[in-house]
Every structure is written in C-alpha cells, then in structure tokens.
Chains A and B, each alone.
Chain A
Amino acid sequence: MKKDAVPQDESSLSKKNIQELCYAVDESGRYTTVLSKGWEPKSLAMEESLQDIKERAEEARKGVKAGVLSPIAYFMEINKMDIGILAGYVGMWRWRVKRHLKPAVFKKLSDRILAKYAEAFDITVTTLKNYSGD
C-alpha cells in the first residue's frame, strides 16, 4: 500500500477521535507509518455484523412474545453473546443454558440462578423475569 493510498474514510472510530496506525511505503519504497481514519469496506463489514445482531435480537423478541423462547434468549442476543459465551459468564454447562431458553424451564428457575443471568446481562432479576417481548 502506498502512503497516499491509505484510506481516510470516516468511520465509527474517527467519530470517537481514534485513528489507527497503518504501515505503507513512501515514494522511494521505504516503509513508514500513517494514521488512517477508517476504510469503507471495513465499516460495511461492521455494519453487516451489527445488522445481523439486530435481526437476531428481533427474532428472539418475537420468540419471547410468542412464548417459544425465554427472556434469556433475548438478552443474550442484545448483549452480543452466544450460548458458549453466556455459559462462561454464568458458570454453567452449555446444555443447561440451552435448557433455560425454554419458557417452561425458565419459569421454574430459582432466584439464585436468575441472579446469575441478571448479573451477566447487567440488569435486575425483575427486569429479566418480567420481559415479555413488548
């Protein structure tokens, strides 16, 4: 990459006043460092990921509302987690977390278990219990 070809597209990084360091060659072919504000293909990839999370969360919300998923499924998605990550945070096996996504199982969970989930999502137990997908 040539020094003057280092992209300077506005991005979510540059909005927070962060610029990243890139290695590029100058006119004589020597390597040097240049700061970059961002690059469109990257920002697009990021947008795609965020869109994906939004869609997943929306699916989960509908699932909770329809009574086929427990609130844990929704909060897991909006926290950008998957079963493996959530299992790590609550200190349980994956299959247990998976079971807790069923509304019938969720209703029977003790407050002690619910508190673990609430802590992982940074919300209160009441919020978790009362989430109905509206």
Chain B
Amino acid sequence: MTTNFVHYQSAHCENGVTSSLLRNGGLDISEPMIFGIGSGLYFVFLPFLKVNHAPAVSFRPLSGLIFKRAVKRLGIKMKRRKFRSKQQAAGLLDINLKNNIPTGLQVGVYHLSYFPDEYRFHFNAHNLIVFGKTDTHYLISDPVMQYTTELTFEELEKVRFTKGVFAPKGQMYYPIHIPEKIDLKKAIIKGIKNTCRDMLAPPPIVGVNGMKYLSKKIRKWPHKIGEKKTNHYLAQIVRMQEEIGTGGGGFRFVYAAFLQEAAGVLKRDELNSFSAQMTEIGDQWRDFAVNASRVYKQRSQQKDVYNALADQLYLLSELEKSFFKNLKKFIRTVA
C-alpha cells in the first residue's frame, strides 16, 4: 500500500512537510514560500524553561504554527488531530494511507532509527510524512533526508508518543481541500506583516528584545554560574541556531530566499534589496556561531570573550530591529 508520492528534501522539517504535502496535492509551492507566509522567522528566549539542561532559545515559533498560519493564509483547509489512544492513532493513519492521503506527523527525534546516534535527543518538534505501508514497515518521507526511509510499526508508535516538552501526542495533519485559485500576494503580505510584528513585539523575551535580553545574560552568566555552565549554554544556543533543520544562520537564509521569491510575485524590486540585507544578517549569525564555538572549545585567544559575544548579539538585535522597522514601513506601501 503506497500513495503516489514524490519526496522533496528541505532545510526545515515543518516547512518541508507542509510544502511537500501541498506539492503532492497539486499546488506547487516552495519551502521558503511556506516559511515566509507562515511567518516562520522568530526569536524567543525562555530562561525559565530548560532544554538539555540549558535555557531554551528558539529561532522559530511553536511547532505547528508555521503550518497552521501558512495553510490558513493560502485558504487551504486541513485536518489536524492529537490522540490519547495509540491504537486509534495508528488506525486513523492506516485509513488515510488506504485512501491515498500522505499524512504529516509530529514526532520525537529520540527513537528515529535512521538518524545518527549523536542526533537522537529528546526533541519533540520534528515533522515527517508517512506515505505508505508495507507488511512490516511504514514508508517515511523525512524532509531533512535526501531519500525516503522506513520505520517499523513499533518504531513509528514510539516516535509518535514520545514524552517531555511539546509531547507530540500522536499528532497528525493533512490537507483536505486545496482551492483552485490561490491569492499568493495577499498571503505574502500577511506573512511579512506578522513577522515584523513578532520581531518588534514589546515583551522582553521575544523578537529583537529577546536577543537583547539574551545578550545581557551572556554578560552575566560567567560570574553567576561559572564558565563551564556558560559554555554549555552557548553550545546549546549554537545548536538551536545551526542544527539540522534551520538551513543555517537561525533560518535567516531561508527567509532571505523567501523575500527574493516574494519580490518576483509582488513585482517589487525593493524586496530584493531586503533579501540581500537579510543574507548579510544571516552571515553575521554564522560569525556569532563561529566565535561562540571557539569559546566552548576553549580555543579563543580573545580576552573578555563573553562580553565580545554579548556585543555581537546586541549588534545583531540592532541590525534586525532596523531591518524589520524598514520592512514594516515598506510592506504598508504594497497594496
């Protein structure tokens, strides 16, 4: 039992799953487009929530949100549900496959057998597509992989019902109606506006303010909790920023690709220059990662490394602040 499914590789799992489900449903839409329309660019720093024994930093919104916003703005209807019962979760997935519907799932990474051991952490916000079933295995299209893979029935049940922060609870989702005509322009403008709003939001832990807050914390950590713990925290930040699924630079390059594509759709050349600016910001995030890695590898010769890193992050927050202010102003002029 297999559905007629074409696998696409992508940088980020959630955009990838969304774009892949829609492409297989007959709507040709790229990963950056989904990311931009779903307002995937984000920053949040949650000092009170510990992930891998370090404060949580995320460069994207809550899992599922990008998908939800993107399909809504494109006028696509989709079905999404969580389960209490494992049997019911498996049963409904099987019915979908029988009806030739490739289905997106939220899963935990820890039991994904095709990932290298090093990558198997208790991280619950991964997404993949199940597109078929053999007598022993489910056929899996994991968007961060180059090829399709397989999981046994038991393995799939395990990854769908992992526990911890953002437990997936067997969550599955799939489009049920894709309209003939899609108003891409409107969706793009909405997506950009939402991202500007998010990044410039007043709470001290989100958007550019969150970066500033984190930069302050980096200054204080070495004195308060010691260098060893600080280095561990820095490594976790870099992992969230660069790890598989971000396309590098904390999603900034994917966003720049989106802005470039949007320039073509909206026929506004200005967006090309916004895209170029975003690429530069992404490059600076990469520099930040390089410098941070020198610190946690204790290779840095620089004095006062933590303050230097904090300065760099502060500068990034200023850059993004002015970027999103300008973008906000510009997008108002696009009707």
Binding site for B on A (CB under 8 A): 1, 12-13, 15-16, 18-25, 29-31, 33, 35-36, 39-42, 44-46, 48-50, 52, 56, 80-82, 84-85, 88-89
Contact = CB atoms under 8 A, between A and B. Distances in A.
Nearest to B296: A48
A46 B122 CA distance: 14
B50 to A, nearest CB: 7
Interface string B287-302: 0011011001100000
B153 interface: no
Contacts of A81: 122, 164
Given A20-B244, A21-B11, A49-B239, 5 more contacts: A13-B116, A23-B11, A31-B32, A39-B248, A48-B235
Contacts of B120: 80
Nearest to A15: B116
25 contacts: A1-B248, A12-B119, A13-B244, A16-B115, A16-B116, A18-B144, A19-B146, A21-B9, A21-B247, A22-B247, A22-B248, A23-B11, A23-B256, A25-B279, A30-B260, A31-B275, A36-B248, A41-B289, A44-B293, A45-B236, A45-B238, A48-B232, A49-B121, A49-B236, A81-B164
Interface residues of B, number: 55
B251 to A, nearest CB: 9
A88 B164 contact: yes
A42 B144 contact: no
Interface of B: 9-11, 32, 50, 52-53, 110, 114-122, 144-146, 163-165, 167, 231-232, 235-236, 238-239, 242-244, 247-249, 253-254, 256-257, 260-261, 272, 275-276, 279, 282-283, 286, 289-290, 292-293, 296-297
Given A24-B253, A88-B163, A49 B52 contact: yes
A88 B110 CA distance: 14
Contacts of B116: 12-13, 15-16, 18
Given A41-B289, A85-B164, A88-B167, A21 B10 contact: yes
Given A80-B122, A85-B122, A45 B239 contact: yes
Contact of A1 (B243, B253, B275): B253
Looking at A35, A50, A85, the one whose CB has the most chain B CB atoms below 10 A away is A85
Contacts of A20: 11, 144, 244
B93 to A, nearest CB: 22
Contacts of A1: 248-249, 253, 279, 282-283, 286
B165 A39 contact: no
A56 B144 CA distance: 30
B77 to A, nearest CB: 29
B296 A44 contact: yes
Given A1-B253, A16-B116, A31-B32, A44 B50 contact: no
Contacts of A12: 116-119
Given A1-B248, A15-B116, A85-B164, A45 B122 contact: no
